[in-house]
Amino acid sequence: MASSRSAKMIPCQRHLFDIPRDVAYLNCAYISPIPNATRDAGQAGLARKSMPWTIAAEDFFSESEIVRGLFANLIGATPDEVAIIPSASYGVGIAAANVAFEPGQSILVLEEQFPSNLYPWRQLSADNEGSLITVPRPSDGDWTTAIINTLDSTTAVVAIPHCHWTDGGLIDLERIASACREHRAALVIDATQSLGALELDITMVQPDFLISASYKWLLGPYSLGFVYVAPKHHDGRPLEQTWIGREGSQGFADLVNYRDTFQPGARRYDVGERSNFALIPAARASLELIAGWGVDEIASTLGAMTNEIASRAQSLGLTSQPEHLRASHFLGIRFPEGMPGNLVERLSEAGVYVSVRGTSMRVTPHLYNDTQDVDRLFDVLEAAL
């Protein structure tokens, strides 16, 4: 779902981050810096472990439920539809363990898709005498049409991102979801490279599972993430048999009375020790900050920045996906004459940080970037070309 270009622009928020003026960090798709408030919340939470007598039984539930609700609000879901997980691969593992898949059926993925959303499907198809179908990168950049044209009667699962992690190539999830329903295929989305910077309404897409790690565009800590689980999968099999996922687990003295019933909704899929007293407060601080800014406003602000970068890159003879075929927050720049071999090193020496994935140089800014950062990027590019 594209973000509205009429949303208000957000002024530079660099003051909320600990980023020196001589650093131009244009690499949020790699790993985001955490806001100062997130760092402080995480450090305060970690410090609580030095005084465990201050941690009450209710603390194992209260803040994680707040965070669950914040993530649910971000995508238009309910807290009962959200589980707390440690990584994207964990969330994809939940999906792979709970989708219907029969021998002879196929699973659809994209060429050069991120490995966390590939390996579980490769294993599932191999274990069940199925096939893994890879959609080639379309020459016209239109991933959506390429995916729809690849779907057929054998497709059981479509496992895709919202935008391609190498260059930001955009996928129209609503069109894909409609095609999946027509073919009775499950839809599993890894939104790690988009959620928090690209608008997504779960009620419009209605996937079976939607997964996101928090350490990129959610501006959160590493080793924490979330998975939306459609209600029809709420009675499925979790990857772990945890005590906290069981009904009545709030009563610690009663834990010796084992139960086969679970906490409501998607909570059965929560990772063990989900109440992490450092990571959960940190994630809360970041999600509250994003909610305050507004995802549509973030997307519009970053879209203006990436459009400027794309235009300036084009003047140097470099190419990128056209605006309507890429995510607004994400730019993959390609070098028709070949990327200079030491370009990334030259950039980092100048305090400019980007990354290379496949044949693309990813330039992925956030609200902590400004025109000075963009100018520094092009100072190096112009000298290198």
Average pLDDT over residues 242-263: 96
Cβ contact 161:114 at 8 Å: yes
Place of tokens 């499950």: 186
* Distance of alpha carbon 331 from alpha carbon 363, whole angstroms: 5
Average pLDDT over residues 234-249: 97
Average pLDDT over residues 331-338: 94
Cβ contact 123:96 at 8 Å: yes
Cβ contact 277:45 at 8 Å: yes
Average pLDDT over residues 191-200: 97
Average pLDDT over residues 304-309: 97
Q: Which domains are assigned to the chain?
A: 14-35+294-384 (3.90.1150.10), 41-292 (3.40.640.10)
Cβ contact 26:44 at 8 Å: no
Q: Measured over all CA atoms, what is the biggest interatomic distance in the chain, rounded to whole angstroms? A: 70
* Distance of alpha carbon 354 from alpha carbon 344, whole angstroms: 7
Tokens representing 239 are 């990857």
Average pLDDT over residues 161-175: 97
Determine the pLDDT at residue 6. 65
Average pLDDT over residues 324-349: 94
Banded model confidence at residue 3, pLDDT cuts 50, 70, 90: very low
Determine the pLDDT at residue 368. 98
Instruction: Give pTM, 2 decimals.
Output: 0.96
* Distance of alpha carbon 228 from alpha carbon 209, whole angstroms: 5
Average pLDDT over residues 223-233: 98
Cβ contact 373:353 at 8 Å: no
Tokens representing 293 are 């800014």
* Distance of alpha carbon 132 from alpha carbon 150, whole angstroms: 12
pLDDT tens-digit readout, 117-149: 999 999 999 999 999 999 999 999 999 999 999
pLDDT at 94 over 70: yes
Q: CA nearest 293: which of 373, 217, 201, 210?
A: 217
Determine the pLDDT at residue 229. 98
